[in-house]
Amino acid sequence: MVPARLAVGVTLREADDAHLTLDGQPGPALEAGDLVTFRKADQSVTLLQDPALPFFRVLQQKLHWSSR
């Protein structure tokens, strides 16, 4: 977990046929020394929400967390 106010950067030490893929879409080729930075977006979007299935219940099912 990283606080929302922080960015996370990854610098490639080596890049042997490395590509950046976002949301399943092919992206640019990466080279050694390239920096990829991730940060929280200013906007948010709800892609799908089922009121009968709370978020943590979905996590529990997908990650196979046992219930107490």
Beta bridge pairs of residue 25: 22
pLDDT of residue 22: 85
pTM to 2 decimal places: 0.56
Dihedral over Cα of 39, 47, 28, 26: its sign: positive
pLDDT of residue 50: 81
Cβ atoms of 65 and 57 within 8 Å: the answer is no
> pLDDT by residue for the chain (68 residues), tens digit each?
889 999 999 999 987 889 999 888 988 999 999 999 999 999 988 777 788 888 888 888 888 887 55
Six-digit token string for 30: 């990466």
Strands 25-30 and 8-11: unpaired
